[in-house]
Structure 1
Amino acid sequence: MSAFDCLTEIPDVLRAALERADDGVVIVDHAHRITHFNAAAERIWKLASFDVLGRDAEILALKGLQADPVADLRDEISLVRRDGSRIRTAIALSSVKIGGANHYIVFARDVTIEAERRVRIGLLHAVSDQTNRAVIISDTEQNIVYVNSAFTTLFGYTNAEAEGRRAGELIAGRHTDRKAIAKLIKRLMHGGRRGEAEVLVYDKDGEEIWVCARIDAFRDTKGRVKHIFALLEDITETKQLRSLQQLIMGALADEVPIGEIADRLCRRVEEIAPHVVCSLLHVDAAGLIHPLGGPSLPDDYSRALDGVAIGPDVGSCGTAAFYGEPVLATDLETDSRWQPYKAMPLAIGLRACWSTPVKAKDGRVIATFAFYYREPRAPSNWHRRIVEACVNLGAFAIERKEARAEIARLAYHDILTGLPNRAQLRHLITTAIDACPTGSHVALAFLDVDHFKDVNDTLGHAAGDELLIQLAQRLREQIGPEDMLGRLGGDEFVILLPQRNAESAARVAADITEALAAPLKLGSKLMPMSASIGISLYPDHATDIDTLMQQADAAMYMAKQAGRSTYRIFSAEMNGLTEQRLALIAALRRAIAEGALTLSYQPQIRSCDGAIHGVEALSRWRDAVLGDVSPAKFIPLAEECGLIEKIGLWSVREACRQMASWRRAGLNIPCVSVNLSPINFRNVTLAARLKDILAEYDLPADALMLEITEGTFMQDGVAALETMNAIRELGVGLSVDDFGTGYSSISRLAHLPIRELKIDRSFMRDIEKDAAALAIATAVVRVGQGLGMTVVAEGVETEGQRKTLAELGCDVVQGFLYAPALPPVAFERWLIEHCAEQARAMQGRLDVGPAGSDAVRRSA
């Protein structure tokens, strides 16, 4: 039976149309029987028409066909076909009258592919909304058809607000590079490949955003562009701001001057923020402004800013630097802080200024970073992000340059005084000589502090440093603005006097000598001071720097030889004296190396019975060429040239060797005293060295006494005290030599491991007639007795001095009254004679009885 036999009422034309329709057409009569089933329906349900015509519509599994269906129904269903396959079908159901009876026409269309496409599109939408990159899809006319949620987040427009609008109208603005985008789209429309560009765009509120736009096209099967696709990445911070960092780091690595770095930074900022004119100002330690960078500002405007002091109402930059806070002036015309300064910026079209302080790590304001605008306005969020980055980068660049400048300064300046050092002085002297007019002079003055070592030894290095600082200040006050002061090192200074002859230089030296006569205040102490000055002249004395410096040094040494606190001008004869000094140092080195030094021994006698208390070992030097060289000459020389420590250790070893030799020979000498320099006590191994020496010669520790000056425990106090305690733990005695001439206090003395005090020989000369000398000697004896120490008086030459000391209770006396310092063999003869005399005296006392005691004592 034909599919149309039941539809005789339908015209043939309509039946033919239904049969050829692309959609499946099913007609169901009022009894729910299928009366028409076209070819398309056969394909959808995979059923032949003759299998379904006349049968109940349930065979089609259409749940919407009820006994009394709705008039119209549209739906999309999942259809399970007879063979078990499943497709997605769009169903439309309508009720019609055929032959006066109700029939239902079902239109069915296979939409499986479309449904799958929609699912894929939904997934793509979901993925698109999950990415942090903005997506825009537009038609070929650039009308937006889709934006993702990232676009909404970045620009503020919803899909509804964006759809239908041209992309260029939506996010492009005044400074957007439209030509770059148009070029990419044109290339795509002509079959070219995709491309990308960095452009400045704007969000819904007008804020600038730098994006990297990657643009491509969706094409149909024939290659025709159907849609344009743009993927926008926010590079505001990731690239644009990073480019600022790369610019600064690269410039610093290339040692670019700070002014050029600042200009490069400002230019780059003006590229990524086209609305602004950028400026970077340095703020010095005195609070003065100095332009660093501002290439878009006129030169006269920058010059006008140079040297302006910061303050509470000094435009935007001066105020920001003063308060350490950002300052915004949205309208320079009316802002009160700009009234004295507004004329120049307004004249060049600048109407607003926003300045931010640049701070160092320690909180100091070292610069300001400013944005000028050509219209009254506030900074955008993009501008704020730029400034935040630039402030940090600017601080880093300026601090780095300050650090490198400080390193360079330290390379040419003395750390303690800030004066030019030896390297810089050579440059200054060369410059002064090169600039010296014909017939003029350059004077060079060397200045050395007199007795500076005593300050270090007694008051410590901190006091010595303070003295040098105050000395430098006093010297600055005595020289002219064209003169230059420098420090060679230690207590040596150089004064460069351009265009000064001998007479003029001598006046400067005399003024300095007079100015130094007033004592310096070091803490609570007034410290008298003086200096020796030597002067040489260019070109009279020499034409090269090295010779000039040597001559000034030789003249200074002559000033010291003349009694210090004076000056000398170089003369040809001084060269010979300098050579003599150098020859003496060389000879001393040879003497130490070849064992040419010797020790002489001066006896120390007990006051109570005249018996020997010990001996003091004193260094002597007899040179084959120079003859006998006084210790007063070669000991200071050894201290100057670094030989004194070696001499001290040699003296200990030689004294112990001699003591061991005497003891083996039966000479009973209780103790030997050896003088050591404070330098010896800086060596932490001193106690161990002494222990080894004593063991080597099998001597008890109490056979050795070390004489030290007060400076030994005044300087490097902690280290020296540790060494002294270690020595006392060995059993070796410590004696303070020349006590009373230094600055040590009795309270400190009480806490030191000292066994003996020695009264300086300077008090002996007048002890019989000078009340002050007697009072000092009395005080030293009382201090020693009170602290349980032995008191030794040295320099005793007369019987009257000995008697006075004995009456004071002084324990031991030493001096020419008994014997000078003697070589070992001579001392042995003296000791034998002294012991014999002591024995005779003892016998005499026994013979004459008490009445003859005075005569016996005199004979001793």
Structure 2
Amino acid sequence: MRAYDGPVAETPDFLLAALERANEAVVIVDHDLRVTHFNAAAELIWQLDRAEVLGRHVSYLGLKDLAVATPASDQGRGSEIAIHRKDGSRILAALSLSHVELGGQRRMIALVRDIASEVDQRQRLALLTLVADTTNRAVVVTDHDLNIVYTNAAFTGMFGYSPEEAKGRQASELLIGRDTDRRTLARLRRRIGDENGGEEEILSYDRSGDEIWLSANVQTFRNRRGRLKYIFALLTDITETKQLRSLQQLIMTALADEIPIADIADRLCRRVEEIAPDVVSSLLHIDAGGLVHPLGGPSLPDDYSRALDGIAIGPDVGSCGSAAFYGKAVLAMDLDTDPRWQPYKTRPLEVGLRACWSTPIKSKDGRVIGTFAFYFRECRAPSRWHQRIVDACVHLGALAIERKEARAQIARLAYYDMLTGLPNRTHLRNLIAEAIKACPAGKQVALAFLDVDNFKDVNDTLGHSAGDELLVQFAQCLRAQIQPGDLLGRLGGDEFVIVMPNRDAAAASVVASRITEALVAPLSIGSRQVPMSASIGISIYPDNAIDIDALIQQADAAMYQAKQAGRSTYRFFSADMNRLAEQRLLHSAALRSAIANDGLKLHYQPQIRTIDGAIHGVEALARWHDPLLGEVSPAKFIPLAEECGLIEQIGLWSIREACRQMAEWRKGGLDIPCVSVNLSPINFQNVNLASAVAEMLADHGLPPDVLMLEITEGVIMNERSVAIETMNALRELGVGLSLDDFGTGYSSLSRLAHLPIRELKIDRSFMRDVEKDPSARAIVTSVVRVGQSLQLTVVAEGVETDGQRNLLAILGCDVVQGFLYAPALSPQAFGRWLLDHSAERARVMLARVGRSLAEPPAGDTTLSVVPDKRANGSRERAPDDRLRER
């Protein structure tokens, strides 16, 4: 076929050159629809040589539509066409038509572009959109300015915005609300710039304003030049998880606020029924005797809950009784037919409850202490969501019930002496006040103050265990001599008080004489016969005093007179009893002189960590040796200092001297982590205490955390804001606060939870029988658990045996101190003790390392250091060393 040389020659050369270089195929036809121009790009698309095409009708190229195209209808029109090639292949192309005037004649130009790759991309995009729309996670794509360019179907379902409504709007405008955490939002925005993006949990809001907790996983896409082009966010609804967290926070806050357990259980059940409206929940307590006690079940009938109270658990006692008995979850799918429910089903069925699923609540030691139950209104099993709720509630219920048990135990610690079971000092004061209040007009109340004669000798010769046994038998003897209506209590140590309502001096003397005679017979302590007697002082209300403290002090003064009269007798308080006052005046003058002339000294008792035997710190204990009076016990001069108004000075002096000694030790290379100093509640009434402590620390170049100030329960009793503000100021300074002798006085968990303390100390009195007495062990365990639940370091005082130390370590007590390691030592003696202790620890460690190299490791590898029982040459107690200042 000849080459076509028709009208195309009329086309300007420059235009032909431009059309030849075009990326798109260019086909020009004349008015007869014959091809007058076919460029190189057209040759590639059709795979035809232009010589074969020029002059032919456009139908040869498969462009039949050009035959019906008109200038008016097809100017610039675009469409997609299929091009069939000679080899049988087929491609898709985009066709665009234009009508132009060339050389005075009308021509039609067809621009054709291969769109096979674009079609493939569209198909892939449609597939990706299909995948994105089938996932249950919301997908959001924004441009670099966070304007939304794409959302999937899950986004619409989760937030309520259609793709058309979301597109072009700011992501923050749709999703962020008033309670969204701005710090988390800022963190999420910073992650946009990270190469790997990141994930955050954030509170969002849907179209109706309801909260949605999201886990937002953000990724970025950049162009070839590294510039941010798109931001991709995968959003997961974690509202259910957050609901469980809010449930936990609700109960933990109630526990911290000391809310009664019945209210806590009520809140727990009501919150559960909000997040799982298809259930009715209940919480039961199982006591030590295996009896059921309802704690919470607000949606259950009251008469049904009351009927459960006191029922014993068993294998066929409904779902809860069976779950508690077996210690595993029990499901009754149909209460009407379940044999375990036959005696109990009537009332639940009447209110529409058809099934019950109960899970046991266990304490840390494995005891079943409660059950948590779901009642269903249809015969069904629990869902996965129900299981998640119950898992959380079982844990929360255990905390609440264990706190209830610990609280009851600590209440006993707060008001009763654990050795004798008698009312302690705090409770005794209340009982005396009640007796005085109930005293009829014209009647009297006699108060006897008793002190065991030569008690210290028993402790020193036979040991503290024998001393404790003596006190127990002494208390039993007193109980046998008093009459109904009389009150017996233990003030502490070997001091007891008997309150005798409606008794005058004559009647009181009869009781005192009877007690003196009863104590003539010796006591049997072990294999020994120990003589026992008591000095008794008596004061009469209202003849001698109308104030409780004055009444006790007067009886105390009369008791001292009985001791001076030869002991084993009694004396009444009289107005001319000045001898004791003169003696106290002498002692107070000597004490003032000692404070002014550096007559007091600090001794230091080590505190040892149970986990590895390392030194935790030291407790500074004041000692007084007077040239004339000799060694004066802290049990004597500390109360005297309180009476004379010197106790605040002693506290400040103790801090200053302890800081000086710590600085000296550190300069000498002794690493003592911390020193504890006892303070009086009076010290905390000083608004300048924190600044004074800061100045002392700075003077000796010590960091604040090197100092621990021990406070007594008198501070907890003090509700005045000055004391609390002072404690907060000390804590902000960085100084630690320790609650000393926990449980021996007024112990309020509600106050304890809000005080800025860092450490809890178990009183030495609880250590005596902790190895052999389950009750004593339970008490110590409860105190340790209280400390753990409040995240406090727990320190046990008065540890004297390896068995006590090992038991405390098992219970999780952090630190121990006592004669097992060393008594209170002078600074020089303590330095020698610490070097010996460190050497012993190193020896034990090297021995363990040697054994581990010689044989494969087996068993417990916890470092255990044998206490150095050669402290200061001896482990024997110094006189009055077990009595520390308060």
Q: Indicate the TM-score class for this superposition, using the shorter chain for normalisation.
A: 0.3 to 0.5
TM-score (norm 2): 0.45
TM-score (norm 1): 0.46
Larger Cα-atom Rg: 1
The structure, 1 or 2, with the larger RCO (C-alpha pairs under 8 Å, 6+ apart) is 2
